[in-house]
Amino acid sequence: MDDLARSFSSAFQTIKITLCYDGTPFVGWQRQANGVSVQGLLEDALGRFAGEPIPVIGAGRTDAGVHALGQVASARVPDRPDLDVVLPRALNAMLPEEVRVLRVEVLPAGFNARYAAREKTYRYRIVNSDLMPPFERFYAWHVTGPLDPDLMRSSASALVGTHDFAAFQGAGSGVATTRRAITRSSLEARVALPGAGPGSCLLEYEVTGDGFLRHMVRTIVGTLVEIGSGRWAPDRMMRVLESRDRRQAGPTAPAHGLFLVSVQY
Amino acid sequence: MDDLARSFSSAFQTIKITLCYDGTPFVGWQRQANGVSVQGLLEDALGRFAGEPIPVIGAGRTDAGVHALGQVASARVPDRPDLDVVLPRALNAMLPEEVRVLRVEVLPAGFNARYAAREKTYRYRIVNSDLMPPFERFYAWHVTGPLDPDLMRSSASALVGTHDFAAFQGAGSGVATTRRAITRSSLEARVALPGAGPGSCLLEYEVTGDGFLRHMVRTIVGTLVEIGSGRWAPDRMMRVLESRDRRQAGPTAPAHGLFLVSVQY
């Protein structure tokens, strides 16, 4: 059966899979020639369940080391009763413990996790302290030297709206447009992290938008840290945005602080 | 110089080192013939700093996989100015990122981290959910099936006081007395853990006492879970305690849920 025929066969169901993963050991979401990918693991597990190859489509391609609390994938699988109950158990039994399927929903044919996504929410975690707590080493960026959360917060909120984010786009992506609508861009600071010494602070940046360019969240965060450290003036964020020039923005923050929190449909 | 002479030489200072570590990759606190121990790493780093072997004494021997937020160690090191500032930086530069020295204090000669300890506080973390969030897999015990936190809480509080804890002692320890004074034994429950699915709960058991027998906290937790699951009656905790018989207590909870939180002097 070819792909098109299979897509509309009544012997198949379209499913939406919500999953979380610790990105530390993976080459990222996307299947690659070398290394273990989350997509590859999920496709292999679905293939074993179905007895035939099952391609999956992810809502967002997370890079190596990036985590997900609520990644979403879609697939077409052979129809069986109670897929929403049977499939999460079967998949979790086959997947390594770094990946957990939270939910499987049966949706109308044609649902595509990537194209149907209305908005995505990402979180970026920064530990601002002299010492990096060992428990955070794979889940936050360690920034030493004081950061001013208020300066970062106002710069973050300036990004809300529809803008051309070309200045925050990593090299090597060929998207048609670099305009994106950001509906939320906020920063929370929590003090006194266990194991981080006195004066430590956990900064959590959350951003929601209709789409994100390659490395966009990490480049926003890299710019926020430049501003929070006082090295750059607070109005620099808007000037970077207006420049549409990647060289004006801050460094790309490391992947392991980033979490794909949820995908809205 | 022999050990005794060195202990009282004015060319040496007695230091108290407070450190945290992720116990996942280690064979435990104590130096062993095979595998990497926290004590071994700390002694090696101190030895490189001092230019001679420096033995350290830990307040508590944590088992393989057990973590510490505030382990304490004592040592005698060659006198140098500003040890409290210089030494944490030097040690953290030499230690792997799984171990961080939080603080170094210079104390009067004769301070011994083990014998001077007045009380210790341990925390044990349980994730009660269908799914184990990947981010918790090295830092909590995953218990499926419902647990009643109220039953566990009242059983936990029944342990406060001075009792013979022989029933909670793991095999292979030869201590002089199995009486210990517990000043705090409490349980907190937090609902809705990210990535653990609906109905998930994080249970944190905290216990403070003047000393702990081998596997004592983990055996208390194993017993609490039997009670919380409804398999054992709530009064079982006191009957186990009174029996002084290890076979009456619950299973030893896994090491990776346990944290040495602090040592009081």
Query: Mapping DSSP to helix (H, G, I), strand (E, B) and coil, where does residue A4 land?
Result: helix
Two tokens, residue A113 = 């996790």
**Across A92-120, average pLDDT:** 97
Interface of B with A in 36-55 (CB under 8 A): none
Q: Which residue has the higher pLDDT, A3 or A114?
A: A114
Count of CB atoms situated within 10 Å of the CB of B211: 18
Count of CB atoms situated within 10 Å of the CB of A46: 24
Please tell me the predicted confidence (pLDDT) of residue B170.
84
Size of interface A-B (CB pairs under 8 A): 56
Question: Sorting pLDDT into bands at 50, 70 and 90, what band is B199?
Answer: confident
> Packing angle between helix A236-243 and helix A216-228, nearest 10 degrees?
150
Would you list the DSSP string of A125-168? EEEESSS--GGGTTTSEEE-S---HHHHHHHHHTT-EEEE-GGG
Are A134 and B102 a contacting pair at CB < 8 A? no
Burial class, B240, CB count within 10 angstroms (exposed 0-12 / middle 13-18 / buried 19+): buried
Would you list the DSSP string of A32-88? -SSS--HHHHHHHHHHHHHTS---EEESS-PBTT-EEEEEEEEEEEE--TTHHHHHH
pLDDT of A175 higher than 90: no
pLDDT digits (tens, 9 = 90+) for B119-133: 999 999 999 999 999
Task: Indicate the DSSP class of residue A28.
Answer: B
Please tell me the predicted confidence (pLDDT) of residue B3.
58
Please tell me the predicted confidence (pLDDT) of residue A194.
65
% of chain B exceeding 90 in pLDDT: 89
Distance CA B15, CA B106 (A): 5
Query: Mapping DSSP to helix (H, G, I), strand (E, B) and coil, where does residue A224 land?
Result: helix
When CB atoms are compared, the residue of A98, A99, A137 closest to B97 is A137
Which is nearest to A58 in space by CA: A12, A26, A25? A26
Whether B119 has its CB under 8 Å from any CB of chain A: the answer is no
* Strand pairing category for A56-58 and A67-78: antiparallel
pLDDT digits (tens, 9 = 90+) for A229-254: 999 999 999 999 999 999 999 999 99
Chain A residues with CB under 8 Å of B69 CB are 194-195
Q: Which of A84, A135, A138, A141 to mutate to test the interface with B (most CBs of B within 10 A)?
A: A135
ipTM: 0.86
**Whether residue B63 lies in the annotated active site:** yes
Whether B2 has its CB under 8 Å from any CB of chain A: the answer is no
**Across B89-102, average pLDDT:** 97
When CB atoms are compared, the residue of B99, B139, B195 closest to A69 is B195
Would you list the DSSP string of B238-253? HHHHHHT-GGGS-PPP
* Strand pairing category for B179-191 and B161-164: antiparallel
pLDDT of A164 higher than 90: yes
Closest CA of chain A from B69, distance in Å = 6
Are A137 and B22 a contacting pair at CB < 8 A? yes
Whether A134 has its CB under 8 Å from any CB of chain B: the answer is yes
Task: Tell me how far the alpha carbon of residue A113 is from its chain's centroid.
Answer: 14
Question: Sorting pLDDT into bands at 50, 70 and 90, what band is B192?
Answer: low
Please tell me the predicted confidence (pLDDT) of residue B143.
97
**What is the pLDDT of chain B when averaged over all its residues?**
93
Are A195 and B69 a contacting pair at CB < 8 A? yes
Question: Sorting pLDDT into bands at 50, 70 and 90, what band is B135?
Answer: very high
Please tell me the predicted confidence (pLDDT) of residue A192.
67
Are A100 and B135 a contacting pair at CB < 8 A? no
**Across B83-105, average pLDDT:** 97
Whether B161 has its CB under 8 Å from any CB of chain A: the answer is no
Whether B22 has its CB under 8 Å from any CB of chain A: the answer is yes
**Across A63-68, average pLDDT:** 97
Which is nearest to B202 in space by CA: B125, B147, B257? B125
